[in-house]
Chains A and B, each alone.
Chain A
Amino acid sequence: MEKTLRITNVLCKIMRFTYVQMALLVLFGSISYAHDSFSQDILNQPVSINAQSVEIKKILTDIEKQTTAKFIFSNSTIKAAHKITFSAYSERLSLVLTKLLTPLSISYEVVGSRILLKKMDIRTGSVEETSEVVIPEIVKPVQVIAFVVNGTITDETTKEPLVGASIVLEGTNQGTISDENGNFKLELADNEKNGTLVISYVGYEKQSIALEGRTNISIALKEAGTLSEVVVVGYGTQKRSDVTGAVSKFKNERLDEAPVSRLDQALQGKIAGVQIQNISSEAGSTPRIRVRGLSSINAGANPLVVVDGHPVPDGLSFVNAADVESVEVLKDAASAAIYGSRGASGVILITTKGGKASKPNYTVKMSRGVKSAYKLYDIMTASDWVKLLFDEAALKSKDPSVPPLTAIQIAPLEDRAGYVIEQELRGGQSTDWQDVAIRDANVMNVEFGVSGGNKDLKYYVSGSYQNDQGMMIHSEYERFNIRSKIDAQLNKKMKLSFNINPSYIKRERPAELFQDFVRFRSWLPTRLDEKTAAWVSANPLYADLKPGDWSQARYFSGRIYSGTMPDGSAWTSGTAINPFNTANQTPIFSIEQQRITTDDYRALSSGDLTINLFKGLDFKTLASAYTSYSKGLNFSKRDATRAGDVNKGVYDDRINIDLLSESTLNYKQEIKKHSLSLLAGFTAQKTNVKDQRVTGLDYPSDEISTLNTALTVDKSGSFNTINNIGLISYLGRLTYAFDSKYLLAASFRADGSSYFAPGKKWGYFPSVSVGWIASNENFLKTVGWLNNLKFRGSYGASGNNRILDFAFVDLLYNANYPFGPGNGTSTIGQIPSRDVLSNRDITWERTFQYNGGLDLSVVKNAVEVTLDVYQSKTEQLLLRQSTMAFSGVPFTWNNIGSLQNRGVELDITTHNLRRKNFSWSTTANISHNNNKVIELGNEALILNQGERTELYMNKVGAPLVEFLGYKTTGVWVSQAEIDAARADGLNTALTPYFVSGGLKLADINGDKKIDANDRTVIGNPYPDFTWGLTNNIKYAGFDLSFLLQGVQGGDVINGDANYLEIKRTTRIYSKDRWVSPMFPGDGKTPVANVGFQNWLLTDYAVEDASYWTVREVVLGYKIPENWTKRAHLKSLRLYFSAQNLFFNTASGFRALNPEARFSTGPYNTPLIDGYQRGSFPVNKAFLFGIDLNF
């Protein structure tokens, strides 16, 4: 492949077009070319007529002969018997038509090269020209009108009339369109009275009715089920019934009414096989998305997100949910293979809304709401803690086995000081730092849109503003979106679509983490009051402090404390002590003194042009540019995090330009029972990222944060980098269907990527899938209750190239050093990466997946079921593999091993009630996935460490991540018990655990020696099932939908259990703990401090992360039409929505949020997963909204 490409180099040198130039050339070149056949020109053609009492149809036929125009009309519009006299000489067609038709109350509209004649008073509504609707083309002159059929077209469910439905006599071009009451009238010749009428309407199933001589018929059209719905697949669309892969479609049903700030959050629980996890619930945070489990380790397991054909990495963050028409997820490799090297983790296709041929339709949507913490930690104040210690000491004193305690053993000096401050200095008051950090946050959303157009030009324009204040102080998320989409039918051969979507996101993030608040000392006030100010200013170091000043832990340091203890005894520390030693300022002070803001400007602009070369063959070329500019400022005022901090501004700039050029040829042909489509294409995508950071130091004032005032620039905090990434691809697809029963599809993609070394750049991704629509077989057609039964099977390969840029070569980084006399002069030095060793041979990761599926709908489509089972195997995993640290670099890139995912997904939709005024449907999905490591190169297992050296094991034959640690069997109740165990031969070097009240580590291998060999699997982070259940109920003007969502199984390591700081500020870890041999608590909870040195991971810290929640409830009411009509509105709906009304966690779960996971630092790899501490609370939200159409 590369050889052939090199030949073109010569041409390349001659014509060095940039992508932009190229795109513009294609676009504008084509437009100018198309100009001569603009529809307007049809009407400028000269016509001459001289008719004396001639049938009007005759005149029209005459005009057709003279011009390129073709007329479309129904017999009810043009009365055949109507004869007129009319003359014109070489006049423009438009003038002729006006003169001719106006007196007859007929209007006309140009559709391509055709002219549609209509009765003037008929509103055509939103009739759309699609392949689904047969538009009567030429009306055969009726010889003798002997037969008139009258009828009504209605919606089967709602019984409402359908305006603009097409009624055509089968085998002819004769037909008409229903009027605003759904009525139609068709005049036929006598010999046609036994013909068949074909009725079609957009969004409804086509219906054929034999006339059998009837003159009056009513036809109820069935809304098209999912079968005939159009599904977006890679580089095209398919009818649902033709799909052979595993593709989930989610139509936008009020996605924008959920009180969440992002599209991906709104999709949680709604699509089978797509697990969306809010690993942080802070405003605007990115959730983790996994399609069918984890198919990659280090190469990015996020699905590819494609917005209107352009793969955009952050597509889910900037698209406004209200603008979304549908979201499709390509889940199996066969569907995703068309995206080749980037499809292995699934593909999410976002299709935005476009205009429809109609009068302008205005929509206004406004909502306001409030978010609050569902639950916070049960806080123990410093006083509570000391009381607990004294209570425990009182218990111990009753236990003869406990020797008398020294004062320090009852309670440390520092803790006693905290008690005194809280009880005596602050008069019993304490600070709940959670309340300091968390607030009720306002959320707001305003959207405005207008769409409409005619057959040739359709538009959709919308603007939206969203504001999510964030529950944590100093967090805020604001988004402005504008979207405009224009579709133009340039002439009968060419179609142009143009799309611009600028957006602006402004985000403020808190400078401190919630977990730092949870563990902060309650005795410390946020600001000094009279008494505390008096106390701290007695220290000469802090003599200046006044009431109202911020307080800091160090103000209370270096003092002698004395007071009354909970047992009434008097106590004094004797020497000066530091009740809380920290170099840091209080979190509230730090947060207030810093501003972390980012401004993201993004624009996705694309244009595509489709040219119909000849019947069935379309050429489409698309040029798209995704640009983003992100500007970050992190400004800290003086003393922000520590006393003596200089004020500092970090300015970040990131410019990302991503250009995509795509050309495809699409061929569709239907010959008798054969239906064939072919796709061939070429795409090139080029990404250029420029990052820049400048750090300014020492500003004259905290009030001005622009760099020009900074005294100096911090060299070590400043850089500028450029990165280029490129991808070129050839793709092809064939689909073939025989007799709407047997389906076959095959696709192929070749990708060349800049990520890999020369010679390793190209990867090939084929797929094949088959389908059998059994319900279309004659032997099943007679089964009345069976509407659809389809079996699908597929196999394909998709890939993953998302690794570190240039992992095939070792990069050098600055490592300067001061040489020279005195303080030295910084001299340039370079060393290779300290983090990861390159590997010249690395190449694509490939995932091979089998998928078997079943689609079933029964009882008039009342129950629809989709079932998919799959097995995938990812090979040559791109692995950031731990290496021996003594080799100098702790990790290396490698293509080793393979990973298997197996799973089953079930979607069920039931229409429980389908009445005109009362409908109820239920959609449920449940998926199960399990992954297994098949091979890890030559290794049996890999061990990785988290932040506290807790171990994550990746072992062949087991799920990818398992927690490796010690099992415990309760606590050592007494020293006697330990002595007995030792006498029995048990020994260990882990002496800190062998104390009474310490966790009893299990001797797994039975060698009587507790050591590293006794570590075993104590959990894994993967859920057994994830599920969602949505109910939609409509009754009269009311609509109600609610989503239950849950995750069953899966463990989390709760770091809180190992952090002494959290254990003394929250109640749950000290409840029922071991106190003394006589008072062993529940026998499971260890004594306060013992056993956590060295952060040994035990099952004491592993918890069940299952949960279920009432994720979303939307209750709406549509104001009756007769009221809204008076206000000249089309519709007005009020709604109320809520999130997490109820959130249930597993019984053993001790933290706040089972969805929360650490994902940065060591956790920035799927090899280390399932850890949290001090998790940010789940939020509960309420929203009230208005939805207006006019």
Chain B
Amino acid sequence: MKYLQYITLIFCLALCACNDVIDLYPASNLNTDTYYKTEAEVRTGLNGCYNGLQRPMYREWQFTELRSDNSKQGETGSQSSVNRDLSDLDMFFPSPNNQAIYLYWLDSYNNIYNANIILQKLGVTYDPAAGTNTLGKTDVIVTDSVRKQLAGEALFIRGYHYFNLVRLFGGVFIVHNPVTATEAKGLNRSSVNDMYKIIEADLVTASSFLSAKKVNQIAANDVGRVTRWAAKALLGKVYLTLNRKTDAITQLTDVQTNSGHALQASYANVFSVNTEMNSEIIFAIRYRAGGLGLGSSFGNDFAAASSGATIINGSGQGWNYPTNEFDTAFITTRTPLTYDARRDVNIGFFGANKVPYIKKYISPVVLLNDGESDWPVLRYADVLLLLAEAQGYTPASISLINQIRTRVGLPNLPATVNTVALFEQALSNERRLEFAFENQRHFDLIRFNKTLTTITAEQTIKDHFAKEYAKHYANYPAPRLTLAELQSNVNANRLLLPIPQREIDTNTGLKIEQNPGY
């Protein structure tokens, strides 16, 4: 038994190693157990919510530009799956299984989840019955003013996502604090009214929480963060969408007079990568090139197909071509043929055949899908035109439209614009050209159904199909829809997207209603 001492030693050593061996925590990542204790940590979490704004943008244009008279999926002969999925959206018969719809849904709700975590940590609770947000207890070490600032930003982000969701899908699921998987299965769709209730509450609270500083007083490091003016401008748009014109005017006027935002002298500068976050930008989703993982793919997605490196490194996909009719809408005079200054900022042409493509978001890239251009969400021009829309056919409104026209070197609206119908046509047209490819057109058309008397979304899109049919939609080999079939796809139901089938399938307990028409 002379070995016994050794054996004892081995067992002792083995035993004492135990806790070291299995009591482990991640060595390379922070975790939610221990984070969000200080102001800096909550701010880092909030920065993550801004990052979360980027993802939905990669699909949003598929629902707002393709599904309008602005753009189309260009390759009718292509049988690639991506192009066919885009065509389905373009032609208003997307499937509930459409991957882009699901991913947009998921990415939006993911960022709502991120924002909800921040709001929970800051002690902000939403009362669905009252439709208000209240400030309760928090464990975060933070001053009251900073806490409100942080909460205001998070509330804006949540409200922004819900506003997009309600416009794209109708009444969907309201999640106002982080929910467990089990809790989620107990929730069903809410009404459109309830959706707007939380959107309004979030934006109202945000605009009261956020600092009243004018845009030029904002600290350099904070440029790009949500401001009171962003909250108010968005709230104005929400009110207008609800056709609450007076409320809209109040908010928009406040922004117009007190924000310090102004039009840029040059339309091109608004979007130039050299003048990002200029005075006209009220809120933008920002991208940053340079191999940081923060660049955008829009340049490559939109550049002309088969263009090699001539437009942008890595070639274009040609997924989102301007319609032929939209290009001609920029014509100012026919003889000699001249175009609105905005055409060249928005549309480029490739090859001998001059294929038009969207140029707005193209900046030189080193890496594929690593573009610099920010995506403007709210800009001062929008506030002016929304105000015009809210005020209706008045001289003040005409003058607001003229401000926009003057900036791009166009003459004032002629005196012949002297009826409500003509005013509305002029307003719609001005918005379309001004905000070309900024994910506004589809939402505008839906809003016009309420706010304007002579323009309806359905008719506009049907007309667009008629205008483009011979040149474009007739070129689909099979299945080739007749114009009548194509137009019949456009109805009130199909203005909304289907709820992703996965969402309906995943909840095997509750029956979730699909949107009608799908």
Binds A, one of B125-133, B200-208, B348-356, B446-454: B348-356
The distance in angstroms between the C-alpha atoms of A1090 and B184, with both chains bound, is: 38
* B184/A824 in contact, CB under 8 A: no
Binary contact readout B218-237 vs A (1 if CB under 8 angstroms, 0 otherwise): 00111111000000000000
Given contacts A682-B11, A697-B366, A939-B508, A1090 and B222 within 8 Å (CB-CB):
no
The 10 closest A-B pairs by CB, nearest first: A888-B113, A716-B293, A644-B313, A829-B47, A644-B309, A1094-B95, A12-B16, A831-B48, A726-B21, A557-B306
* A824/B77 in contact, CB under 8 A: no
Give 19 pairs: A residue, B residue, CB < 8 Å, sorted on A.
Answer: A8-B12, A11-B16, A19-B17, A578-B77, A581-B77, A697-B367, A714-B367, A723-B26, A726-B24, A811-B30, A815-B48, A816-B51, A817-B286, A818-B294, A827-B221, A829-B49, A838-B32, A888-B175, A1094-B97
The distance in angstroms between the C-alpha atoms of A831 and B127, with both chains bound, is: 25
The distance in angstroms between the C-alpha atoms of A329 and B75, with both chains bound, is: 56
- Kindly list chain A residues whose C-beta atoms are within 8 Å of the C-beta of B353: 558, 575-576
Given contacts A12-B17, A644-B314, A818-B224, A714 and B45 within 8 Å (CB-CB):
no
- Kindly list chain B residues whose C-beta atoms are within 8 Å of the C-beta of A815: 47-48, 51-52
Partner of A9, one of B19, B88, B305: B19
The distance in angstroms between the C-alpha atoms of A648 and B28, with both chains bound, is: 26
- A990: min CB distance to chain B, Å: 9
- Kindly list chain B residues whose C-beta atoms are within 8 Å of the C-beta of A761: 22
Partner of A809, one of B27, B31, B306: B31
* A30/B22 in contact, CB under 8 A: no
The distance in angstroms between the C-alpha atoms of A818 and B33, with both chains bound, is: 27
* B310/A829 in contact, CB under 8 A: no
* A824/B479 in contact, CB under 8 A: no
In the complex formed, the residue of A with least CB distance to B55 is A834
- B46: min CB distance to chain A, Å: 8
A402-425 contacts to B (CB < 8 Å): 408-409, 411-415
- Kindly list chain B residues whose C-beta atoms are within 8 Å of the C-beta of A1096: 95, 97
**Quick check: is B435 within 8 A (CB to CB) of the other chain?**
no
The distance in angstroms between the C-alpha atoms of A84 and B416, with both chains bound, is: 143
* B18/A728 in contact, CB under 8 A: yes
- A688: min CB distance to chain B, Å: 9
* A826/B97 in contact, CB under 8 A: no
In the complex formed, the residue of A with least CB distance to B50 is A817
* Candidate in B20, B83, B175 with the most chain A CB atoms within 10 angstroms: B20
**Quick check: is B341 within 8 A (CB to CB) of the other chain?**
no
- Kindly list chain B residues whose C-beta atoms are within 8 Å of the C-beta of A1095: 81, 97
- A966: min CB distance to chain B, Å: 13
Given contacts A714-B367, A721-B28, A889-B113, A576 and B20 within 8 Å (CB-CB):
no
- B5: min CB distance to chain A, Å: 10
* A822/B109 in contact, CB under 8 A: no
* A887/B179 in contact, CB under 8 A: yes
**Quick check: is B337 within 8 A (CB to CB) of the other chain?**
no
The distance in angstroms between the C-alpha atoms of A581 and B75, with both chains bound, is: 8
Binary contact readout B88-107 vs A (1 if CB under 8 angstroms, 0 otherwise): 10000111111100100110
* B367/A576 in contact, CB under 8 A: no
Binary contact readout B40-80 vs A (1 if CB under 8 angstroms, 0 otherwise): 00001111111110000000000000000000000111111
**Quick check: is A273 within 8 A (CB to CB) of the other chain?**
no
A822-862 contacts to B (CB < 8 Å): 822-824, 826-832, 834, 837-838
**Quick check: is B212 within 8 A (CB to CB) of the other chain?**
no
The distance in angstroms between the C-alpha atoms of A423 and B372, with both chains bound, is: 45
Binds A, one of B245-253, B257-265, B315-323: B315-323
Tally of contacts, chain A with chain B, CB under 8 A: 416
* B7/A619 in contact, CB under 8 A: yes
- B498: min CB distance to chain A, Å: 10
Partner of A826, one of B18, B24, B49, B294: B294
B354-411 contacts to A (CB < 8 Å): 355, 366-368, 372
Partner of B505, one of A645, A888, A951: A951
B-to-A contact residues, CB < 8 Å:
1, 3-4, 6-7, 9-33, 35, 44-52, 75-81, 83-84, 88, 93-99, 102, 105-106, 109-110, 112-114, 116-117, 172-173, 175, 178-181, 183-185, 187, 220-225, 273, 276-277, 286-289, 291-294, 300, 305-310, 312-318, 350-353, 355, 366-368, 372, 474-475, 477-480, 500-509, 517-518
- Kindly list chain B residues whose C-beta atoms are within 8 Å of the C-beta of A827: 47, 221
A388-411 contacts to B (CB < 8 Å): 408-409, 411
* B32/A409 in contact, CB under 8 A: no
- B388: min CB distance to chain A, Å: 30
* A6/B19 in contact, CB under 8 A: yes
**Quick check: is A582 within 8 A (CB to CB) of the other chain?**
yes
Given contacts A413-B77, A943-B506, A15 and B13 within 8 Å (CB-CB):
yes
The distance in angstroms between the C-alpha atoms of A316 and B518, with both chains bound, is: 50
- Kindly list chain A residues whose C-beta atoms are within 8 Å of the C-beta of B81: 948, 1059, 1095
* A414/B310 in contact, CB under 8 A: no
**Quick check: is A1119 within 8 A (CB to CB) of the other chain?**
no
| Majority SS at the chain A contact face | mixed
- Kindly list chain A residues whose C-beta atoms are within 8 Å of the C-beta of B508: 939-943
**Quick check: is A806 within 8 A (CB to CB) of the other chain?**
yes
* B21/A754 in contact, CB under 8 A: yes
Given contacts A832-B114, A991-B93, A684 and B14 within 8 Å (CB-CB):
yes
In the complex formed, the residue of B with least CB distance to A639 is B309
* A1061/B80 in contact, CB under 8 A: yes
* Candidate in A415, A554, A717 with the most chain B CB atoms within 10 angstroms: A554
The distance in angstroms between the C-alpha atoms of A643 and B314, with both chains bound, is: 5
Given contacts A11-B16, A886-B175, A890-B106, A1012 and B25 within 8 Å (CB-CB):
no
Partner of A822, one of B277, B317, B355: B277
- A809: min CB distance to chain B, Å: 5
* A824/B224 in contact, CB under 8 A: yes
The distance in angstroms between the C-alpha atoms of A819 and B50, with both chains bound, is: 10
* A886/B15 in contact, CB under 8 A: no
- B230: min CB distance to chain A, Å: 14
- Kindly list chain A residues whose C-beta atoms are within 8 Å of the C-beta of B75: 578, 581
The distance in angstroms between the C-alpha atoms of A59 and B76, with both chains bound, is: 106
New contact pairs (7) apart from A9-B19, A33-B3, CB-CB < 8 Å: A22-B13, A582-B306, A643-B308, A720-B28, A826-B294, A829-B47, A885-B109
In the complex formed, the residue of B with least CB distance to A950 is B97
* A938/B509 in contact, CB under 8 A: yes
Partner of B16, one of A2, A8, A558, A889: A8
* A886/B184 in contact, CB under 8 A: yes
The distance in angstroms between the C-alpha atoms of A408 and B51, with both chains bound, is: 46
- Kindly list chain A residues whose C-beta atoms are within 8 Å of the C-beta of B225: 819
In the complex formed, the residue of A with least CB distance to B504 is A1012
Given contacts A811-B31, A943-B506, A752 and B223 within 8 Å (CB-CB):
no
Binary contact readout A762-776 vs B (1 if CB under 8 angstroms, 0 otherwise): 000000000000000
- B132: min CB distance to chain A, Å: 22
* B475/A408 in contact, CB under 8 A: yes
The distance in angstroms between the C-alpha atoms of A63 and B179, with both chains bound, is: 86
**Quick check: is A76 within 8 A (CB to CB) of the other chain?**
no
A686-743 contacts to B (CB < 8 Å): 686, 695, 697-698, 712-717, 720-728
* A412/B276 in contact, CB under 8 A: no
- A1095: min CB distance to chain B, Å: 7
- Kindly list chain A residues whose C-beta atoms are within 8 Å of the C-beta of B117: 832
The distance in angstroms between the C-alpha atoms of A1095 and B501, with both chains bound, is: 13
The distance in angstroms between the C-alpha atoms of A558 and B102, with both chains bound, is: 34
The distance in angstroms between the C-alpha atoms of A886 and B221, with both chains bound, is: 32
Partner of A886, one of B105, B286, B287, B293: B105
Binds B, one of A342-350, A496-504, A650-658, A876-884: A876-884
The distance in angstroms between the C-alpha atoms of A164 and B115, with both chains bound, is: 81
In the complex formed, the residue of B with least CB distance to A891 is B181
- Kindly list chain B residues whose C-beta atoms are within 8 Å of the C-beta of A583: 300, 305-306, 314-317
- Kindly list chain A residues whose C-beta atoms are within 8 Å of the C-beta of B116: 888
